[in-house]
Amino acid sequence: MSNIVDPLVERIGARIRAERDRRRWTLSELAEASGVSRAMINRIERGESNPTAVVLGKLSAAFRLSVATLLDPDADTQRVRRGEATPRWLDPATGYERRQLSGPGFPAEMAEIRLPAGARVPYPAAAFAFHRQLIWVIDGRLTFHEGETVHELGAGDTVELGRPAPCVFVNATDRACRYAVVLVRGEAP
């Protein structure tokens, strides 16, 4: 096992711990609220485990925060964000890559996602309960499951999310899909 610690993984862990402390939740309370095991939360908070997209979705839902907030907790408020310095996070389970485009002071959150061929990333309905979201496919094809509804999206297509429902992002093709997520805080429709 490597002793090299990823600074982003450490920051994510510190943010999750800070959110838990702010709410005065025990590990057990966060585990109950999120459906993530106490042991996994403990490893994440200590910076020993890079959470998957699924785990981040469950934790963000429990905290009523966006995934972007957990991934980019201490971003500066500069108006210009250089491409090479933009925070990137890689899901260790699927290869899903997320790059945060907007800073914490901007009223909408925007992220660029690269979903590898064959990848499938589910999020619980609660992850969408306190946000309005739009998905814009930039390149490739995305099969987006919004509850029971399936949207087949190609380059240039957009979908505005409706009422909170479990969602699954699927790339059933043999090449990567790139899409943007635009999120505005506030109750979903």
Instruction: Note down pLDDT in tens along the chain; length 189 residues.
Output: 344 447 778 888 888 999 999 999 999 999 999 999 999 999 999 988 888 888 888 898 888 877 777 776 555 556 666 677 677 788 888 999 988 888 767 788 888 999 999 999 998 887 777 678 899 999 999 999 999 999 999 999 999 998 888 999 999 999 999 999 998 866 544
Residue 33 lies in domain: 7-71
Question: What is the predicted pLDDT for the residue at 89?
Answer: 83
In the chain, the largest separation of any two C-alpha atoms, in whole Å, equals: 46
Q: Are residues 48 and 119 in the same domain?
A: no
Question: What is the predicted pLDDT for the residue at 1?
Answer: 38
Domain closes at, from 44, 71, 98 = 71
User: How far apart, in whole angstroms, are the C-alpha atoms of residue 171 and residue 134?
Assistant: 18
- Count of structural domains within the chain: 2
pTM of the predicted model as reported, rounded to 2 decimal places: 0.73
User: How far apart, in whole angstroms, are the C-alpha atoms of residue 101 and residue 50?
Assistant: 21
Do 163 and 97 touch, CB atoms closer than 8 A? Answer: no
Strand (E) or helix (H) holding 56: helix 53-63
Question: What is the predicted pLDDT for the residue at 2?
Answer: 43
Domain assignment present for 1: no
Give the three-class secondary structure for 153: strand
Q: Are residues 120 and 58 in the same domain?
A: no
Question: What is the predicted pLDDT for the residue at 182?
Answer: 92
Domain closes at, from 71, 103, 127 = 71
